[in-house]
Structure 1
Amino acid sequence: MEIVNHAIAKREDKQLLVITHLSQYLDYVTGFGGLIAPLIIWLTTKDKVHEMDVHGKAVINFQLSLIAYLIIGIPSILLLGLGFLIIGFAIVLGLIMPAVNAIKASNGEAPSYFGTFRFIS
């Protein structure tokens, strides 16, 4: 009996990795697309594109962390205005980190999102 290796060679697609990181900016356009678009890209290409699983998990963890910061920050507004700092922190992270990690992806580096909780490992 012949054993055939069915391992699929993954292609390297840095442009798709960059698009995955930059698609998070859809939050500022549609209000919700920043989680859905990267999730769809990650789920459909994680087995086909080299390093997509690592970058996709980082993006999804970052988006879920931003949602957690907002869920914590909104009620914290009543607590001496502390929520404004938390929400401001989330907004600044949401604006800066996708661009930084898109540049890292285009250079072939691993993603690193500051202030991210690991929901998916």
Structure 2
Amino acid sequence: MPEHEARGWASAAHWAPLALTVLSAGLLAILAPLVIWLMHRQRSWLVDVNAKEALNFQITLVIAYVVGAILTVVLVGFLVLLAALVCSFVFGIQGAMAASRGEAYRYPISIRFVK
């Protein structure tokens, strides 16, 4: 895969979940990095690393959203949900920018489920 194409797919693995978060309240955000990773992981190390990292972050966010939703009963959950949403956008934008420069990005807050 040419370098410019790899950078595009790697960047898309970070940008697409942001768009899907807006469109689906975060429910479908996990799909974009999963599909990109499955389709292109063997064609480019850059796409493999970035899409896998974005996928792990989206899985971590799903867990945070579930915990936040449960904790809304005691009102603390709204803070958890807000923090997860802010982290989603800030770290997602940082990841997309790093990937577009050809760098592997590591999310500061992420459980690495997929190795």
SS of residue in 1 equivalent to 2:29: helix
Length, aligned pairs only: 111
Q: Provide the TM-score with structure 1 as the length reference.
A: 0.82
Q: Given the alignment, which residue of 78, 85, 94 partners 2:73?
A: 78
Counterpart of 1:18 in structure 2: which amino acid? S
- Residues 1:51 and 2:35 aligned together: no
- Residues 1:96 and 2:90 aligned together: yes
Q: Given the alignment, which residue of 60, 64, 82 partners 1:69?
A: 64
Q: Which has the larger radius of gyration?
A: 1
SS of residue in 2 equivalent to 1:34: coil
Runs of 4+ off more than 3 Å:
30-33
Gaps in structure 2 of 5+ consecutive residues:
none
Counterpart of 1:49 in structure 2: which amino acid? S
Q: Provide the TM-score with structure 2 as the length reference.
A: 0.86
Counterpart of 2:94 in structure 1: which amino acid? V
CA RMSD of superposed structures (Å): 1.5
Q: By percentage of residues, which structure has more helix? A: 2
- Residues 1:29 and 2:38 aligned together: no
